[in-house]
Structure 1
Amino acid sequence: MSILTVRQLTAQIKDAVESGFPYVWVRGEVTNVSRPSSGHIYFSLKDENALLQAVWFKGSQKERETFDPLTGEVFEDGPRMSLAGTLRNGQQVICAGRLTVYAPRGGYQLVVELAQDSGEGQLHLALEALKRKLAEKGYFSLERKRPIPEHPHRVAVITAPSGAAIRDFLRLSGERGTGCEIRIHPVPVQGDDAPPRIAEALDDENWRGWADVLVLIRGGGSLQDLWAFNDERVAGAVYRSRIPIVAGIGHEVDTSIADMVADLRAATPSHAAQLLWPERQWYAQLVDDLEANLLEAAERRLSQADQRLDTLGRALAWLSPERGLARLEERFGALARRLDFALEQKLERTDARLRFLEAGMSRYAESRVLDTRLEQTAALTRRLRQAQALRLEQIGGRLDTASSRLEERFARQFEGLERQLERHDLRLRGLDPEGPLERGYAYAFTADGHFVRSIRDVQPGASLTVKIRDGEADTRVTAVRATGESHDIP
């Protein structure tokens, strides 16, 4: 049997303790907190029957923690405040670290590396278990998430009726949500009664079917304060909602199960309003763009109509009966001249032939045979002239018939072109921006020169310029009423 020195025994105990407990989690009540100038924190953890010395060295302390010390989950929404700055006597905590033996005093102690409030630690464990359960059921699946309607007109807000969350949301919705109707469905957002009331409100809004989108919001707080939105009943109501849901629970660093199940997560209640509606400047730019596109389209249509009108005018001039008759007359004249020339040539040749025959047969003038030939020649000459006259009469009749048919054809084409021209004229008149003014209508412009297309474009007290047929008039809006409503819109 060997005899150990105190130092040897302490060293063996130290080896056994440190190798047997390289890393442990310990739950207990904080007592004897001491914060010397070195920055280290000395305290004890106790329960009903035991006491454990602990030290949290300055080098292990962090102002913010990037992961959950109990579950090891990395905080996706950013670092969170460490417990080092708020550790106090009587606090229930869970500490993580390694056991070591301090030889000078012959005692063992816990060298703390991480610490977590005991209550929050239990909540984190429950939260992670519920997350795993809901993930297996597909609650967080991206495929089931629906798009949020652009520029919703009816929004139901499920939240506490008072507090910063609803004030911030209403302030931004008033600035951005032009023409939107908002209904508040009041519910408690903290405490045991909150989860069933929130789930009931979500189901009720789905049953009503009034809203285009549901908004579930709450201001910031601790994990315990926000615990109602980590309840499985609330998650189930969000999951089965037929209406798209925007959730904005707590601050940017807070992410609840309701946020994860919702169709769209907002970092804060104010951010929820920003996601639903763009700034008014966007609407103004949209109106300006639409107005510019409309004017450009009208100018393009007018230009196309002018070009078409010019083309039709040229075609009408080319196809007019007068021009067609002129071409026929010119052609008829050319044919007549050619016919006259041909007849003259034929007659000249015939006369020359006759003169030749007369000269050659003059010595036989007294003979009976010559008389007979002369009579035959005279008869042939008469028949030739009669045939020529008949031919000219037939050609003239055919030309008259062709001229009449051509005149009828051109008259029909001209009537069709006139009707087409009238239709284009009516369409051009319909595109004329001044046309409605001539019929007694008026245009209204805002002070910055934009058209007034809806009562939502003006407010009581706004200055307007009204353009009428023969001038403009400046006026001020005293009241605004929608079509079919008897009361003023504030």
Structure 2
Amino acid sequence: MKIFTVSDITRAVKEVLEAEFPFVWIKGQVTNLSRPASGHIYFTLTDGDAGINVVWFKGNQKQAQSRDGEGVNPLTGEVESGGPLVLEDGMEILCAGHINVYPPRGVYQLIAELIQEQGVGDLRLAFEAMKKKLAERGYFDEDRKMELPHSPKKVAVVTAATGAAVRDFLRIADERGTGAQIRIYPSLVQGERAPERIAAAIDSACDDGWAEVLVLIRGGGSLEDLWAFNTETVADALFRATIPVVCGVGHEVDVTIADYVADRRVATPSHAAQQLWPRREVLMQAVDELEYNLAKAFRSFVEVRQSRFDILKKGLMWLSPVQRIERLQAAFDVETERLGRAAGLNLDLKEAELERQKERLSRTFGPRHVKSMSSEIKGLEKRLSRAMEHYLQRRESGLESLAESLRLLDPEKPLERGYSLVTVEKSGTFLRDPQEVRNGDGVRIRVRSGEVRARVEEGE
């Protein structure tokens, strides 16, 4: 028994295939198209049941023709004039080339030499039809889409539980934000049963009411591989979702129906995590900026309050009773000093004036004049004294005459001579006329040595 090495068996297969298929025509649909910077084009040619990798080198691309031109005659291989062909996923093409085995990966592939467009593939037609149908139903309307929460704490992820997509998502999530809980809702993401499973997982995540946002992710693949995300079943589940949905399916060039329906479309599963959580460096920088702004605002606040405090302090000091008393005391001291100076000056002026008057008096009334005036004053004093004595004697004599007149006018004097005074008891007035009393009225009769009471009785 012969044992082959990997290189031996690969080389043998390569020789057989390349010898058996030196030049072939293959018809199929373009999927998983890739255009690297080298200018070569790589894609998969599929008919729905099988696929073959195709390499279209840059040097051979100038021979390609589109349907708008006359194209390549598939029977003769003759290249005819026409416009350049631009490949797109979903195109139906006719490839001419030879089979090649690529030893490093042990795969066979078609090296394309001639390519002619045959039409738009069935999957692309189905995609455009579904897109038009859902657009008419309002599934893509921007006004129905929800805003994503900022840095969510609870995130539901619908994806294959063991796929590379979820590992990339979790790795990025672990490096960003401030920490969050992530709950995986596992689902098939490829195959006939995938749409129902994806829709069920979306419904379950919404019904739980736990998550703030839902993330639908899957790694890259061909158009057939991603077809579950182009189905109406998944679109309906996304449309009725009650929480915001982020869709990160395939690579940046891959666009699915789910991307249009979701609230936010991102390029890759890793990009989904980047959209949900900011980088920690950015957060730390934001914290530093906030700290700086807070310190700046606090300093400004303190400076404003300090300035206000100083103004109020000055105002309070000005209005303070102690300060007022001190100001009044200072003003009082100033006025006292001024008054003292004014009083001293006034006293000096008065003393000077007094001296001047004394001098004038001395000049006007000398010793001789004063002596003469003194003698005159003494004579006047004697005359005034004699006049006062005569005046008092006359007044005393008149006073005695008035006293005698008063004694004669005393109403009680007649009582000594036997007369009496009668007063009406009721009114207290002297009785002068009998008509002033009536029968039974009381009267008082005053005589020299006392008083007698009586009652009036009228005779017949």
* Range into which the TM-score falls when normalised by the shorter chain: 0.5 to 0.7
| Contact preservation (8 Å) 1:364, 1:370 | no
CA shift, 1:307, in A, is 5.2
Identify which of 325, 341, 346 aligns with 1:342. Answer: 346
Inter-partner Cα distance in structure 2 for 1:297 and 1:26:
68
Matched, 1:359 2:370: no
Inter-partner Cα distance in structure 2 for 1:369 and 1:247:
142
| Contact preservation (8 Å) 2:90, 2:223 | no
Identify which of 325, 328, 332 aligns with 2:332. Answer: 328
Assess, with a 3 A threshold, how the Cα gap between structure 1 residues 139 and 222 changes in structure 2: closer, same or farther: same
Report the equivalent of 1:273.
273
CA shift, 1:167, in A, is 0.7
Deviation per CA, 1:315-372: give whole Å up to 9, x if none: 6777763752334312332233224433543454355335424532345424269979
Deviation per CA, 1:119-142: give whole Å up to 9, x if none: x82222222111111212222223
Aligned partner of residue 121 in structure 2, secondary structure:
helix
Letter in 1 for 2:373: S
- Structure 1, unmatched stretches of 5+, are 1-24, 30-37, 42-51, 71-81, 89-110, 373-490
Alignment map for 1:25-44 (pairs within 5 Å): none
Aligned partner of residue 140 in structure 2, secondary structure:
coil
CA shift, 1:248, in A, is 0.5
Deviation per CA, 1:234-262: give whole Å up to 9, x if none: 21222232322110011222111111111
Letter in 2 for 1:367: M
Deviation per CA, 1:399-441: give whole Å up to 9, x if none: xxxxxxxxxxxxxxxxxxxxxxxxxxxxxxxxxxxxxxxxxxx
Matched, 1:294 2:294: yes
Report the equivalent of 1:84.
95
CA shift, 1:61, in A, is 11
Aligned partner of residue 150 in structure 2, secondary structure:
coil
Inter-partner Cα distance in structure 2 for 1:344 and 1:231:
122
| Contact preservation (8 Å) 1:62, 1:84 | no
Inter-partner Cα distance in structure 1 for 2:244 and 2:301:
42
Letter in 2 for 1:179: G
Assess, with a 3 A threshold, how the Cα gap between structure 1 residues 26 and 232 changes in structure 2: closer, same or farther: closer
Letter in 1 for 2:365: M
Letter in 2 for 1:329: D
Alignment map for 1:110-259 (pairs within 5 Å): 113-115=116-118, 121-259=121-259
Aligned partner of residue 243 in structure 1, secondary structure:
coil
How many residues were matched structurally? 297
Alignment map for 1:366-381 (pairs within 5 Å): 366-367=372-373
CA shift, 1:200, in A, is 2.9
Aligned partner of residue 84 in structure 1, secondary structure:
strand
| Contact preservation (8 Å) 2:91, 2:124 | no
Assess, with a 3 A threshold, how the Cα gap between structure 1 residues 83 and 304 changes in structure 2: closer, same or farther: farther
C-alpha RMSD of matched pairs (Å): 4.4
TM-score, reference length from structure 2: 0.54
Assess, with a 3 A threshold, how the Cα gap between structure 1 residues 290 and 26 changes in structure 2: closer, same or farther: closer
TM-score, reference length from structure 1: 0.51
Assess, with a 3 A threshold, how the Cα gap between structure 1 residues 57 and 125 changes in structure 2: closer, same or farther: farther
Assess, with a 3 A threshold, how the Cα gap between structure 1 residues 353 and 285 changes in structure 2: closer, same or farther: same
CA shift, 1:312, in A, is 6.4
CA shift, 1:115, in A, is 3.7
| Contact preservation (8 Å) 2:28, 2:94 | no
Question: What percentage of residue pairs aligned between the two structures are identical?
Answer: 42
Inter-partner Cα distance in structure 2 for 1:368 and 1:210:
132
Letter in 1 for 2:87: E
Assess, with a 3 A threshold, how the Cα gap between structure 1 residues 267 and 345 changes in structure 2: closer, same or farther: same
Inter-partner Cα distance in structure 1 for 2:183 and 2:89:
39
Assess, with a 3 A threshold, how the Cα gap between structure 1 residues 308 and 177 changes in structure 2: closer, same or farther: closer
Greater C-alpha radius of gyration: 2
Letter in 1 for 2:261: V
